[in-house]
Structures are given as C-alpha cells and as structure tokens.
Amino acid sequence: MQGAAVSVTDLACRRGDRVLFRRLSLRLAAGEALQIAGHNGIGKSSLLRIVAGLAPAFAGSVEVNGTIGLIDERHALDPVQPLGKALAFWQHIDGAADNELARLGLSDLLDVPVRYLSTGQKKRAALARLIGQKASVWLLDEPLNGLDVHAVELTETLVAEHCAAGGIALVASHQPFALPGMGRLALAEYAA
C-alpha cells in the first residue's frame, strides 16, 4: 500500500439535468480516512462512483494512486453460489488471501447460497471480499447500514487497521463512523 493517495480537484457532479455539487477538492494520503456526510440524495454515492472511475465528472479531476476496492449496495458476490465458492471466484482473480472469515463470523456460512444470507451477513461477506482484494484505497458506501452493534465495531476496526497499514478509506455515510483521526466532509457545503 506504499504511496496510496487520492486527489480530487475542483470536482463537479451532474446527474440527469441537475448539478449536485461543485468546487469540491480533497486530498488523502496513505493512512488517512475521510467521512463524506450529508442527507439522502445529496450525492455521496455519486462522489464515490466518480472517484472509482465508474461515473464521469461533470468538471474537475480525480487522481488515485493505488488500487481501488468499492463496497456499495451491490456486493459483487454471485447470489446463486454458496458463499465459499463465491469468495473463491474472486480469489482466482485477486490471488490467495486471508478473508478474515472467522473474525467476520462467516466460517459457518460458507455452504449457504449468497442470496440466503441475511442483510448483515451479506455486508460482512462483502467486507471479506474487500479484504481479499488487498486494495489500497477503500471506497465504502454506507458500510454500516443493516449491521448490528458488534458488526459496526468490527467494520470500524477493520477500517482503522487498513489505514494503520497505509491504506486510505473514503466512507460515505449519514451515520456516525467511529475512527480516531478521521476527517469529515459535509457535502452540503458544496451543493450547487
């Protein structure tokens, strides 16, 4: 994760015929985390998708140094496959890795088809895949939605460990995210 960096300069986002935000600049260096906060529909997910390269910027630029791992409401695990096989599919692509299955409480669920997992279990499965991806820049869209108290704390701890190892985390959430030293960007301040 050496040298991970995210640089957003004078960014504007347009969706449909509306500009959601403009003149947004931010810099994140290795080890840093930032929460993108704001009410429903303000453009948090859109910002993450632009940073991920999945949506175009209306104006401005984004530079990312490092590999990107994105978690949003689409968990990218084959719903028909048992969890173990769905994760193994990604291991063929990402390379062998410790997905922290025991820590995520998934060890006993590997034979369960992904579509039968509960909301919180699916979220934890997405985290397992993200950990296996070994990406340096984590983009997390509402990572705490649907999680119980224990899973919330675990997610916060995993993000803290990721940053302590030199990773970067950009967390879009309207909920509090407990992480010492985490910055906070209120997207409303950039509303168009």
Ligand X SMILES: Nc1ncnc2c1ncn2[C@@H]1O[C@H](COP(=O)(O)OP(=O)(O)OP(=O)(O)O)[C@@H](O)[C@H]1O
Euclidean distance between CA atoms 73 and 42, whole angstroms: 17
Site stretch for ligand X (CB under 6 A), options 12-20, 78-86, 117-125, 178-186 = 12-20
Q: In the complex with ligand X, which residue's Cβ is closer, 107 or 145?
A: 145
Spatial contact of 82 and 74, defined as CB atoms under 8 Å apart: no
Euclidean distance between CA atoms 84 and 182, whole angstroms: 33
Q: Does 27 bind ligand X (CB under 6 A)?
A: no
Q: Does 176 bind ligand X (CB under 6 A)?
A: no
Euclidean distance between CA atoms 127 and 164, whole angstroms: 17
Q: Does 41 bind ligand X (CB under 6 A)?
A: yes
Helix (H, G, I), strand (E, B) or coil at 170: strand
Q: Does 99 bind ligand X (CB under 6 A)?
A: no
Spatial contact of 159 and 140, defined as CB atoms under 8 Å apart: yes
Q: Does 45 bind ligand X (CB under 6 A)?
A: yes
135-174 footprint of ligand X as x/- string (CB under 6 A):
---------------------------------------x
> Contact with ligand X (CB under 6 A): which of 2, 40, 108, 164?
40
Dihedral sign for Cα atoms in the order 104, 101, 179, 64: negative
Provide the binding-site residues for ligand X, judged by CB under 6 A: 15-16, 20, 38, 40-46, 174
